[in-house]
């Protein structure tokens, strides 16, 4: 049965009029970035109760003093390279096999790998912005200010507090989530890769399409309604699927 899955998924992609991909932390663990909830994951190293929009707006000094380690982690993963799974998805987009990628990841690895239509619905590590005037700055500038003990880091234009362009607990999702929702509503196949589908509202997306396939190392609560589930690493699964697509094309 497991041997048949790459063929079945490849066939489903080739038969689909429009395939959209949704990715989560599981696609980036193969690049050395830990996921959030597993033992040794991100939330075992950092306190999620601090990483909230309420904490940032109500007590930015406390937020930034507690978030120093997290900012250091952000700085580290900016230099991580894409893995084979990211590159295969970029190739599949180039081959017009997939329409776009919706990602919960903030690491930017899809864009680094060459994917062009990427909806980063949980933000990114490339920039920050002023909470007062909305001026955008490089995340490097924000981190440099914090390293120089400018806590909280302030906007050079208006003196407002700067923040990373990463979605914190309590934040609304960016406008691109509305666009991502439209993409899923209009697709004939949603391919979920490396996501436990535990975070709202992103986990509402599979319910917007009639057909979705899940590629994830562990089981999810959405498995029962999926047309196919393969509990495998993203890189291994996508390599096998892409090879089958080449044979069938």
- CA-nearest of 67, 237, 53, 36 to 142 is 67
Q: Assess contact for 19 and 98: CB atoms under 8 A.
A: yes
In the block, which residue shows the tokens 């507690």? Answer: 66
8-state DSSP, 154: B
Residue 101, CA atoms < 13 Å, CB-side half-sphere? 30
8-state DSSP, 180: H
**Structure token digits, residue 207:** 């319910």
Whole-number Cα distances in Å, 203 to 33, 104, 197, 235, 241: 21, 10, 5, 22, 24
Q: Assess contact for 141 and 134: CB atoms under 8 A.
A: no
Residue 122 is among the residues annotated as catalytic for this protein: yes
- The active-site residue, picked from 86, 110, 122, 163, is 122
Q: What contacts 39, CB < 8 A, 6 or more positions away?
A: none
Return the active site residues: 122
């Amino acid at each position: 049965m497991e041997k048949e899955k790459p063929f079945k998924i490849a066939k489903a992609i080739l038969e689909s009029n429009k395939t959209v991909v949704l990715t989560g932390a599981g696609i980036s663990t193969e690049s050395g970035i830990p996921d959030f909830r597993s033992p040794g994951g991100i939330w075992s190293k950092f306190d999620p109760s601090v990483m909230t929009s309420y904490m940032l707006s109500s007590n930015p000094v406390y937020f930034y003093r507690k978030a120093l380690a997290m900012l250091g982690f952000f700085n580290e993963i900016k230099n991580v390279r894409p893995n084979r799974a990211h590159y295969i998805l970029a190739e599949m987009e180039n081959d017009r096999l997939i329409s776009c990628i919706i990602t919960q990841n903030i690491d930017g690895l899809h864009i680094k790998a060459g994917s062009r239509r990427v909806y980063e619905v949980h933000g990114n590590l490339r920039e920050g912005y002023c909470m007062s005037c909305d001026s955008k700055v490089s995340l490097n500038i924000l981190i440099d200010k914090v390293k120089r003990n400018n806590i909280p880091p302030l906007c050079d234009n208006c003196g407002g507090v700067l923040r990373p362009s990463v979605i914190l607990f309590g934040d609304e999702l960016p406008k691109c989530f509305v666009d991502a929702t439209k993409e899923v509503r209009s697709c004939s196949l949603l391919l979920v890769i490396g996501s436990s589908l535990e975070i709202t509202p992103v986990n509402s997306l599979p319910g917007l399409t009639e057909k979705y396939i899940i590629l994830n190392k562990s089981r999810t609560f959405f498995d029962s309604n999926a047309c196919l589930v393969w509990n495998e690493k993203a890189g291994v699964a996508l390599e096998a699927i892409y090879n089958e697509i080449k044979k069938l094309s």
